[in-house]
Amino acid sequence: MKVITYILSILYALVIKIRNELYNKGCFKQWIPPLKTICVGNLAVGGTGKTPHAIFLLQSLHEEFSVAFLSRGYKRKTKGYIKLTLDNQTQQVGDEPLLVKRRFPNIPVAVCEKRKTGITTLIKQHPEIDCIVLDDAMQHRAVKPGKTLLLTTYDLLYIDDTYLPHGYLRDSITEAKRADWIMVTKCPPHLTQQEQTKIKERLDISSHQKVFFSSVVYGTPMPMEGDHQVTWNNIHSVCLVTGIARPQYIEDHVKSHVPNLKSMHFPDHHYFTISDFHSMQQCMATMPQDTILLTTEKDAMRMINNPHLPHSLRSYIHYLPIETKLINEQDTFIKILKDYVREN
């Protein structure tokens, strides 16, 4: 099986290389948006932290500038352009855009599989927009963004990865040169300057590129419904449910806080079914009475309005919010962002 996946990965890499070369040589046209755009992307599939970093960009910019967020709305059941409201469901718009809208109710958030259509429609609806953050748009080469933020995880840098289906890479390593900023994500919070220097040397960046490092900051579990607050001090038992790529990060974090943990992991962006919720109920039934059902904020978007969610589970469900924090150079990075949006 490994031999087969390795051969398939070589074929996949060849197709990707040809596609990129056609764009790089101008055989395929690229559209340049008439306003500032920042693409948040990666070279691998899932798990690099695109949504938390997009939220970080919006948080850094929205008080000074008029910003918007555009995504294709991965795994949604609809097509075309949709501007989000707080009443939308994940089946209509996708879990990540809905999460962003709930975090920033006053910021225009839209989904559209054709980024050019999405950008032009947003501009027509909101001509005051200064900058649009483009989610997961690095492989959507029909649009050329003003700036690109490339994400790669600390424990699996893109230079150490292999192509699908043998590894996680969905794009050529050489395409990293298109990025303006490279963010090494999910780093240990106390990553030393020496370690940072070694990583920068290994990435072999171009003169126009800057490398930054970020870590995940987990918040306190929040109830999916209601305002009953809990702290880790009074949580002793957790049924952890995830539908994300690479759930080991959150699982390790929860393990460090509670003595009793059972985990249920589903595929990334999984839509929970009646059977899934029944399995959750069974898990809860085998655990102490004070057990909470803990999930990610993104997964909570796919639960809260799910018609299959049993009423008996609702009061037990909590989600774990996360934030992105840059190591050492957060103020520098924010200044670079603002200078880009501000420049003529």
Q: What is the pLDDT of residues 216-264, one digit of tens each?
A: 999 999 999 988 889 999 999 999 999 999 999 999 999 999 999 999 9
Quote the pLDDT of residue 3.
Answer: 85
Quote the pLDDT of residue 31.
Answer: 98
Quote the pLDDT of residue 64.
Answer: 98
Quote the pLDDT of residue 229.
Answer: 82
Entry pTM: 0.95
Q: For residues 19 and 26, what is the distance between their CA atoms, to the nearest angstrom?
A: 11
Q: What percent of the chain has pLDDT over 70?
A: 100
- Region 305-329: mean pLDDT is 96
- Fold topology of 2-65+130-217+324-342: Rossmann fold (3.40.50)
Give the pLDDT band (50/70/90) at residue 175. very high
Sequence-separated (6 or more) residues with CB below 8 Å from residue 259: 236, 237
Quote the pLDDT of residue 137.
Answer: 96
Quote the pLDDT of residue 46.
Answer: 86
